[in-house]
Structure 1
Amino acid sequence: MKDGELIAAVDLGSNSFRLEISNLHGDHFQRVEYLKETVRQGGGLDADGYLSQESMERGWQCLARFGERLQNFHPSRVRALATQTLREARNRKQFLEQAQQLLGHPIEVISGQEEARLIYQGVTYYLPLNPDEYRMVIDIGGRSTEIIVGQGQAPLEAASFALGSVSWSQRFFGEGRLTAKGFTKAEVAAKALLQERLGLFAQFPRENVFGASGTMNAVAQILCQQGLAEPNTITRKALAQLKAQLISAQHIDNLSMEGLRDDRRPVIGGGVSILTALMEILDVATLHISDGALRQGALVDLIQREKPHNEQSDIRQKTVQSLLQRFGYDRLQGERIASTATHIWQEWNLPQASHEDLQQLQWAALLHEIGISIAYERYHHHGAYILEYGDCPGFLPSERDNIAQLILGHRGKLKKLQDRLQNHPGLFELQLLCLRLAILLCTARNDPELQALQWSTPKNRSARATVSEAWSQAYPQSYYLLQEEACVWEKVGFDLKVVVQG
């Protein structure tokens, strides 16, 4: 990325959709535009987990407006993330198909753990480095709440809970009623849900606690306007006074507080009840409001992905190394295959390929044998499962799926991937072919003689490998495997030719 370039993050939250556009300056960014619309999509999720047509329409209309603003942005400069509502929605595919067309960019439904990681990254971006300082970050969204503890800029423990200002307001403050009984029930229910995983955070200090996102900002603004707390600060005492005022009002229509925006009024009961429960159960006396949250964390990720690998700034590189440490079988073989695959890929010189495509191929090569740690039988299935369902910080769901499918397809017949190869051949097909070629050339777990092979650029689902006669005689098994590989690809309509030259 170059200085002055624009990057953008879209947050499809349960209460609001937000678009953040920033100008890049080195490793830092400066906001140039911020759009927010109260879509309240989480409120349109029914008891069976389906989004209502009305809530989908509101989301589509908002994303169409965002899409107009992002028309000239390259896909690598935009991250669009959806959270708890779309994690839950059983008809999310229906919503996302049109949403992505209107926005003009892919939308990723991220896991609760990945949401927590990005929130921590966004919050600590605005804090001093202080690598030894322990920090706790709390984010109350529309339908989920995240708690993260880290040291400096590095998250250590994180948890995501399925409770938020929208869902709790619907459940305990129906029709806008604000009663003492409602708050008691809401707080007890929140504590019961939170209690299960609080042991994760027991050992960490509570001196530096930060709140992120809508509920925290709304509460802090009200407390400051009323003189109950310092700016950007929430205390348990001040929060108790605010709760008493809400109960006294009895209904959201009776609220006339300075600092309370109209769009926050319907969900203030749920937000305050969850925050009260959190501060009590975590024994937090004071928390400070952060300028950063999920969107800023996504922008930091965009910047880090562009840095050279030797800086190890891309969290995905660290995730791959962690997976190799936990599940690795033969790291030298993985590196050998990654190097061979890189050579073939670069020889192909594909004009439509990006650096990201090569990265995913390299990661698949490094990780292709991790399933052996579970069992050698069907290890490619085990490896794909680890990638698809394991904890892989930094990877978008689409990236994880792509690498998982490469690992699944790196050996055996291609029938298991036939639908994908027929419906979406493109670069995935070439990544898979490249990986399989690299693996067969390294089957003896030795470095292959790559100078004896030449590769033409694949076109129209066909490719050509030219080998010297001396090589075919010196390595008869590899030559045989190349011919067998051509037969495998022929069955899915791809023409791989292996030609021997004297």
Structure 2
Amino acid sequence: MADHLPPVAREAAPGGGTADGPPPSHPAPGADPARRTGARGPGGGPGQRQAYAAIDLGTNNCRLLIARPAGDGFVVIDAFSRVVRLGEGLAQSGRLSDAAMDRALAALQICADKLRRRNVHLARSVATEACRRASNGADFIERVRRETGIALNVISAQEEARLAVLGCHILLEQGDGPAMIFDIGGGSTELVLIENGPTVPRILDWQSVPWGVVSLSETCGPESGGVSERAARYREMRGLVDAAFAPFAERVAPARADMAGSGGLRLLGTSGTVTTLASLHLDLPAYDRSAVDGVIVPASAMRSIAARLSGLSLAERREVPCIGRERADLVVAGCAILESILDIWPAERLGVADRGIREGILRSLMATGLSRPGAAAPDASPAPAAARADQR
């Protein structure tokens, strides 16, 4: 892990977009390869005014974050997030569909344009579970490189978990002993048992299972029928996730028992599921990142919300504030995964993070670029020449 973890600040992104929100690295489209590391900005320090970027192409979302170092942290200068459902139909076919790839490519073209306009000199772009599982994942990665200049790296589940921890662990409640951090994605879910370290947490154990909100929803089939049928579908989801996490639950049981005895179970989650449910707990009329990121909520309240949502019809969920049409068909699977996690690590309180892989990438890039002039971050590279030709 990186040895420097700056806090996150945000400033208005003139180009629009929303910040919410992991990858290996490459100089971005529009970057000058001669300015990868060690460049001096107007502030006098190496790279102080350089822009860094992180792209996270997941099973459900495509997300971009562009930032500049600022003191001990960084300031976000542009961001972008779009639901692309890259993994739609993957559970049945084993392949990325043409429509899903086209949606993702359209979003990545926007990302490439932002990288050029922001003159990003170093970026890391990653793809996760959908591209890991798809038989045509490598072909899609090559098409992205050819059409956008973005060099996506398909990261392992272990690297995905590491970056998520790196990006959000500063929001974990203070305390001693092991704690749990989790990331519910579109195609997979990562659970990571950590303990405090001098600068970053030390990972004690981790597990990734191929159940995310998209893969679990598709495997259990579309919703149909009334209340009893919805309850049966939810039980099926819970059973699949519980079975997948059973070996990990057994491994962490001693740590759970030790910490439960001292009343010190700590739990932090990052994902659209936990931020959405936290919004409902706060009774927000619309999603507000500033109100959600870093909030700590009772785990019992999250369970109650999960139970309520799982009993609603699809049409009813679409009318719930902070869910809407894009998440209405997926949030039930997220609720099932969250409840399974709360069984494994039954903390009384749940920390909520609207940050994760992208922030972890940025911290890694900046730590490397600012602390070791002349050294590139792992998998970092300058922008493709075709993209650099568009630089002004």
Q: 1:249 to 1:287 in 2, by over 3 A?
A: same
Aligned to 2:185: 141
> What residue is the counterpart of 1:150 in the other structure?
194
Q: Classify the secondary structure of the residue corresponding to 2:326.
A: coil
SS in 2 for 1:147: strand
Structure 1 segment 289-304 matched on structure 2, within 5 A: 289-304=352-367
1:25: which partner in 2? 70
Distance 2:245 2:219 in 1: 17
What is the Cα deviation at residue 283 of structure 1?
2.0
Match of 1:246 in 2: 309
Q: Per-residue deviation at 1:44?
A: 3.5
Post-superposition offset of 1:48: 3.9
- Does the C-alpha gap of structure 1 residues 12 and 290 become closer, same or farther in structure 2, counting only changes over 3 Å? same
- Deviations along 1:95-115, one digit per CA (max 9) or x if unpaired, are 111212344231110000011
Cα 1:97/1:74, change in 2 over 3 Å: farther
Matched, 1:164 2:212: yes
Q: 1:176 to 1:17 in 2, by over 3 A?
A: farther
Could you say which residue in structure 2 is the equivalent of 1:8? 53
Rate the CA distance shift 1:135–1:292 in 2: closer, same or farther, 3 A: farther
With the length of structure 2 as denominator, give the TM-score of the two structures. 0.72
Residues 1:226 and 1:107: Cα distance change in structure 2 (over 3 Å): closer
Paired with 1:99 and 1:224, the residues of 2 have a C-alpha distance of 39
The corresponding residue for 2:151 is 106
Letter in 2 for 1:166: V
User: Would the alpha carbon gap of residues 75 and 174 (structure 1) be closer, same or farther in structure 2, given more than 3 Å must change?
Assistant: same
Cα 1:222–1:19, aligned 2, differ >3 Å: closer, same or farther? same
1:97 to 142, 147, 151: 142
Query: In the superposition, relative to structure 1, how do residues 240 and 28 fare at CA in structure 2: closer, same or farther (>3 Å)?
Result: closer
The answer to whether residue 283 in structure 2 is matched with residue 225 in structure 1 is yes
Partner deviation per Cα, 1:215-273 (whole Å, 9 max, x = no partner)? 1111111222179xx96344343233323433442334554222223321120111011
Q: Which residue of 1 aligns with 2:123?
A: 78
Deviations along 1:272-322, whole A, 9 cap, x unmatched?
Answer: 111111112322332110243111000111012225569xxxxxxxxxxxx
- Point out where structure 1 has 5 or more consecutive residues left out of the alignment: 311-353, 357-393, 400-502
Of residues 249, 260, 264 in structure 2, which corresponds to 1:198?
249
* Cα distance between partner residues in 2 of 1:265 and 1:237: 22
Q: Which residue of 1 aligns with 2:238?
A: 187
1:301 is matched by which residue type in structure 2?
S
SS class of match (1:197): helix
- Coordinate RMSD, CA, aligned: 2.9
2:265·2:346 contact (CA, 8 Å) conserved in 1? no
Aligned mates of 2:123, 2:59 — CA distance in 1: 20
Aligned counterpart, 2:300: 237
Q: Does 1:37 align with 2:88?
A: no
SS of the residue 2:346 aligns to: coil
| Residue 124 of structure 1, CA deviation | 2.0
Q: CA deviation at 1:59?
A: 0.8
**Which residue of structure 2 aligns with residue 58 of structure 1?**
103
Distance in 2 separating the partners of 1:131 and 1:246: 32
Contact 2:266 2:347 in 1 (8 A): no
Distance 1:73 1:244, change over 3 A: closer
TM-aligned CA deviation for residue 56 of structure 1: 0.6
Find the aligned partners of 2:300 and 2:172 in 1 and give their Cα distance. Answer: 26
Q: Distance in 2 between matches of 1:35 and 1:282?
A: 33
Instruction: Compute the displacement of 1:175 (Å).
Output: 4.2
